[in-house]
């Protein structure tokens, strides 16, 4: 298993309503057919109803944040574009917020080497995921480099 140090949260950059609620197979087609990648770039996708779908296996490096994939987990939620404004916006549904927090809690518990949860915008010049993931989820990790296991 790779050593995981961070989780990077993304949005799919789709509308924040039922038109933007895509499944992992749709995102996989975007990434494989559109970008020429080997597989979907994310490890997980959180649908608008809170359903969590698996993408790449965790033991496989993602393709979601250029230069930051080696030791990270990529999680995207469906949405991120305002229905009225058509601009980047935090469109998470209550179900997505709950599911995302549950998933992040679980990953941080099972992988104590994870020291931060951040947004894609923290490592690139993008608005994604349209909210401050670092501030919202800082309580999930201790923010310190893990000590080597004996």
pLDDT digits (tens, 9 = 90+) for 97-110: 999 999 999 999 99
**The pLDDT value given to residue 74:** 98
Cα separation of 119 and 131, whole Å? 8
Closest C-alpha to 57, from 136, 2, 110: 2
pLDDT band at 1 (very low <50, low <70, confident <90, very high): confident
**The pLDDT value given to residue 148:** 46
pLDDT digits (tens, 9 = 90+) for 126-138: 999 999 999 999 9
Query: Which tokens belong to 142?
Result: 């201790």
Q: Note the pTM of the prediction, 2 decimals.
A: 0.93
**Helix H or strand E segment including 136:** helix 133-137
Cα separation of 97 and 82, whole Å? 16
Closest C-alpha to 62, from 32, 39, 41, 33: 41
Closest C-alpha to 4, from 65, 68, 100: 68
Q: Which residues are part of the catalytic machinery?
A: 10, 42, 120, 126, 128
**Helix H or strand E segment including 57:** none
Supply the DSSP symbol for 123.
T
**C-beta separation of 146 from 115 below 8 A:** yes
Q: Look at residue 14 and give its three-state secondary structure.
A: strand
Ordered structural domains, the chain, with CATH: 6-140 (3.40.80.10)
């Amino acid at each position: 298993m790779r050593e995981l140090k961070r989780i990077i949260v993304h949005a799919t950059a789709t509308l924040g309503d039922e038109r933007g609620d895509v499944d992992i197979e749709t995102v996989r087609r975007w990434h494989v057919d559109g970008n020429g990648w080997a597989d979907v770039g994310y490890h997980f996708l959180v649908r608008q109803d809170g359903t969590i779908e698996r993408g790449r296996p965790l033991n496989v490096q993602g393709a979601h944040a250029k230069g930051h994939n080696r030791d990270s987990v990529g999680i995207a939620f469906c949405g991120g574009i305002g229905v009225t404004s058509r601009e980047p916006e935090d469109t998470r549904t209550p179900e997505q917020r709950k599911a995302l927090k549950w998933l992040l809690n679980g990953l941080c518990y099972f992988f104590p080497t994870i020291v931060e949860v951040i947004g894609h915008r923290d490592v690139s010049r993008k608005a994604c995921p349209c909210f401050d993931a670092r501030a919202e989820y800082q309580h999930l990790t201790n923010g310190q480099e893990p000590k080597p296991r004996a």
